[in-house]
Amino acid sequence: MAKGGWQEFSRPESLARSTGPEPAATPKAQQRVRVQRTKAGKGGKLVTAISGLEAPEAERKALLKTLKARAGTGGTLKDGLIELQGDQVAAALEVLQQAGYRPKQAGG
């Protein structure tokens, strides 16, 4: 290297991102999963919202399918938030406990 030729990003290996281990996901039993009834933004209709799930998309979809079958109602997955139609708090708490989470009921 020439005298005074300092270049921070001159070599390809300096541009490569580190491929270190990914941070471990929070265990299911330590996640703060909240189950609550809400009407906000739903045209006055009651929905059960489940938030705080730190799981891959495929696992959340499988959990949604189980929740919908157990509650016998429709539901959706929006921005990592699971929404079930109607007041399904008891059913949601039961299914989440069986899946290994420690859910809490939020709100009234």
* C-alpha radius of gyration, the chain, whole number: 22
Query: Which pLDDT does position 5 carry in this prediction?
Result: 65
Query: Which pLDDT does position 3 carry in this prediction?
Result: 64
Is the residue at 62 inside a domain?
yes
Q: What percent of the chain has pLDDT over 70?
A: 76
The per-residue DSSP string of 46-101 comes to -EEEEE-----HHHHHHHHHHHHHHHTS-EEEETTEEEEESS-HHHHHHHHHHTT-
Q: What is the extent of the structural domain holding 89? A: 32-105
Q: Which CATH number goes with the domain that contains 64?
A: 3.30.780.10
Is the residue at 49 inside a domain?
yes
Is the residue at 4 inside a domain?
no
Residue range 61-77: mean pLDDT, rounded: 93
pTM above 0.85, yes or no: no
Per-residue pLDDT reduced to its tens digit, 34-54: 999 988 777 888 999 999 888
Is the residue at 68 inside a domain?
yes
Query: Which pLDDT does position 49 carry in this prediction?
Result: 92
The count of domains in the chain is 1
Q: Which residue has better confidence, 19 or 55?
A: 55
Is the residue at 26 inside a domain?
no
Is the residue at 47 inside a domain?
yes
Paired sense of beta strands 34-38 and 104-105, if any:
parallel
Dihedral angle computed from the Cα positions of residues 24, 31, 94 and 107, in that order, rounded to the nearest 10 degrees = -160
Residue-averaged pLDDT of the chain: 82
Is the residue at 22 inside a domain?
no
Is the residue at 71 inside a domain?
yes
